[in-house]
Chain A
């Protein structure tokens, strides 16, 4: 039963985790809007999401000894291979590829979707607690 509750929340939980990680990436892009040579990064959300749901999201850290660092010690949600470079719209002479308008749009969009996931999660909690309390 407990495992089924876990499954019940898994989709929203994964989505929230990935959305907040992407929020961090977009914040880094905006922060580095004036850094020479900085390349804007982003992830393909749908493929990252399906990979995370399939259980492949954990960092592929190879350990040959039980005392090696475990993958839990890294705080990056996305594996390095999932990070892509954003296509350049207007090249600048200092090698920076951040387009602040584009990043702000993505940032707001991602924030809105995060809030949508929060609402879905809230409703799921309410549904479950209604099912538990009713007699």
Chain B
């Protein structure tokens, strides 16, 4: 029954989108983290999506989180000679988090999540109506 697989597909997409939302939250929270566990400034994390089959169907693909990559763009240098982590020239390496990019990502992820919830609701309505078929 194909309608049951709509749940699997939509839930895989919701899972992927919430992972993306998670990465956005982490990036925004650490937008000012000058140092992290490895001693380097925090690097923005991006979630990579990949289409992957769910269950036995091969025609309709779900979404899989292929991995989380670190943004390799250079750290932002801020001139602050009094900062304890400033280099010899007085520059502090700040995380390469772009707040505008992250906010856009957040809106996109939350909209996509909502759309998938709607898809799931529609599938549920159709299934409920199918279950009551033939009952007078």
Chain A interface residues (CB < 8 Å from chain B): 16-17, 20-21, 23-25, 27-28, 30-38, 41, 74-78, 80, 83, 100, 104, 107-108, 111, 114-115, 118, 121-122, 125-126, 129
Contact = CB atoms under 8 A, between A and B. Distances in A.
B23 to A, nearest CB: 13
Interface of B: 1-3, 5-6, 9-10, 12-13, 16-17, 20, 48-51, 55-63, 108-109, 112, 115-116, 118-119, 122-123, 125-126, 129-130, 133-134, 136
A111 B136 CA distance: 22
Most buried by B among A23, A80, A100: A23
A83 B59 contact: yes
Q: Is the interface of A mostly helix, strand, loop or mixed?
A: helix
A41 B126 CA distance: 22
A24 B58 contact: no
Nearest to A104: B115
Nearest to B55: A75
B108 A76 contact: no
B116 A125 contact: no
A100 B13 CA distance: 14
Contacts of B122: 107-108, 111
B61 A28 contact: yes
Contacts of A121: 133
A78 B126 contact: no
Contacts of B134: 122, 125
A83 B59 CA distance: 8
